Amino acid sequence: MSFSEKSQPMSAGEPARALWVSTIAFTLCFAVWTIFAIIGIRIKQELGLSEAQFGLLVGIPVLSGSLARVLLGVWTGRYGGRLVYTLTMLGAAIATFLLSYAHTYAQMLIAGLGVGLAGGSFAVGVAYVSPFFPPEKQGTALGIFGAGNVGAAVTKFAAPFVLVAWGWQAVAEIWAAVLAVMAIVYWFTTSDDPAFRARRGTSLAPRSLRQEFAPLKNVQVWRFSLYYFFAFGGFVALSLWLPRYLVGVYGFNLEVAGMVAAAYSIPGSLFRIFGGVLSDRKGARGVMYAMFGVSAVATLILSLPPAGSGQALGITPAVFIIVIFVLGFFMALGKAAVYKHIPAYYPDSIGAVGGIVGMMGGLGGFVLPIAFGLLKDMTGLWSSCFMLLFAIVAISLAWMHLSVRQIDRRAPSARTAAAV
């Protein structure tokens, strides 16, 4: 249902309250979603896990959270974001609390599946927040909401202190308690979104699953998914891979490498807001072209060998850090631009389409680090990870440009800056 079709008026402060409370909730959800990045290190030591077992433990919440986005997005359309968001947070909080009582590796993996619900909350928030705003403001609103990705940095900075003081179990229990409190606050401070209220006020039967997923037959949805696979999945993958890369290539100590990775994560999340504003004012098409263009150049530069490797061309640590931060900045803009399109093109299926696109982005964060490691083992080149990212960018840019040209040829009078 489009913004213009909503029949029930909103109070003046309702959209702002829905946006900011949802953003705070998503920040806490993202902090919980990435909890294994810190406590997993201590768990690995206690259980004597192999590198492969540790990788699976860290990746399980990312995988389950990504897959859950589709179902949670559909449920949001059927039952309303306020209810689904609240229940999602409570479910993730319960799983995170039970994690502190897990003693075996299998028990921790099962708990990790539940922890992943916190990451699935993204699809709920997108479908819930969008109807509160007209199309010309949805890019900014979703950019602000998506900046909740900064919750990963919250865990990276705060969890180590709690872990050292009271143990990893305390981290799980405190994070669970905070998320449970947020769920209660969310229920009592937000209202149902206008689109759900309008549907509830009619005698129309709920849409069938076939109707919900009908847009997925459109190739455009999967094109958007590829864009988000790079913009979000690539960003998450680099956040995870950077410490290993800096230690292995340039000999940084782990503390410095971790600080660089954290510094990469925070602006990359917050600049998503700027990406939303630009998408509203200048058009998402232009933002997407800028992201792919700059990303192609950046990944091509980063594909060069490091300085001192015996090659004529080599990247020094300073150049590497500058280019990787430029890449992260434009990825953040692109994340917002992708989601600007979903309510514009699929106003009746924001939950399902947003869930699929979000799922593919999350899977990128799960699959790409594994691919980076495999490429390193196969080629012996640390920079092979950037070669892979360059290939994804090149394919995405070519596909987008060809699609834009087809759209313009079919309907030149309907050209818009967002027609991607």
What CATH number should be reported for the domain holding residue 50?
1.20.1250.20
In a domain, 71, yes or no: yes
Residue where a domain terminates, one of 133, 166, 195: 195
Nearest to 363 by CA among 77, 29, 69: 69
Inter-helix orientation angle 219-228/384-410, to 10°: 150
Check residue 155 and give its pLDDT.
85
One domain for residues 177 and 304: no
Residue where a domain terminates, one of 161, 195, 229: 195
Check residue 4 and give its pLDDT.
39
One domain for residues 183 and 286: no
Q: Structure pTM?
A: 0.78
Instruction: Annotate the chain with three-state secondary structure.
Output: CCHHHCCCCCCCCHHHHHHHHHHHHHHHHHHHHCCHHHHHHHHHHHHCCCHHHHHHHHHHHHHHHHHHHHHHHHHHHHHCHHHHHHHHHHHHHHHHHHHCCCCCHHHHHHHHHHHCHHHHHHHHHHHHHHHHCCHHHHHHHHHHHHHHHHHHHHHHHHHHHHHHHHCHHHHHHHHHHHHHHHHHHHHHHCCCCHHHHHHHCCCCCCCCHHHHCHHHHCHHHHHHHHHHHHHHHHHHHHHHHHHHHHHHHHCCCHHHHHHHHHHHHHHHHHHHHHHHHHHHHHCHHHHHHHHHHHHHHHHHHHCCCECCCCCCCCECHHHHHHHHHHHHHHHHHHHHHHHHHHHHHCCCCHHHHHHHHHHHHHHHHHHHHHHHHHHHHHHCCCCHHHHHHHHHHHHHHHHHHHHHHHHHHHCHHHCCCCCC
Check residue 34 and give its pLDDT.
86
Residue where a domain terminates, one of 195, 222, 257: 195
pLDDT at 171 over 70: yes
Residue 201 — pLDDT band, cuts 50, 70, 90? Answer: low
What value does the mean pLDDT of the chain take? 85
One domain for residues 72 and 142: yes
More confident residue, 188 or 214: 188
One domain for residues 322 and 353: yes
Q: For tokens 């890449």, what's the residue?
A: 327
Percent of the chain residues topping a pLDDT of 90: 36
Check residue 288 and give its pLDDT.
92
Check residue 26 and give its pLDDT.
95
What is the arithmetic mean of pLDDT over 12-20? 88
One domain for residues 229 and 190: no
In a domain, 3, yes or no: no
pLDDT at 21 over 90: yes
Tokens of 99: 């994690």
Nearest to 66 by CA among 95, 90, 22, 33: 33
In a domain, 6, yes or no: no
| pLDDT tens figures, 349-359 | 777 788 888 88
One domain for residues 275 and 317: yes
Residues in the chain: 420
One domain for residues 182 and 244: no
pLDDT at 56 over 70: yes
Tokens of 296: 């192609």
Q: Which domain holds residue 383?
A: 214-411+416-420
In a domain, 1, yes or no: no
Residue 38 — pLDDT band, cuts 50, 70, 90? Answer: confident
One domain for residues 178 and 260: no
* Positive or negative torsion for Cα 43, 44, 45, 48: positive
pLDDT at 146 over 80: yes
Domains in the chain, number:
2
Q: How far is CA 120 from the centre of its chain?
A: 9
Distances in Å between the Cα of 244 and the Cα atoms of 205, 275, 289, 382 are 52, 29, 30, 10
One domain for residues 174 and 238: no
Residue 418 — pLDDT band, cuts 50, 70, 90? Answer: very low
In a domain, 205, yes or no: no
One domain for residues 174 and 236: no
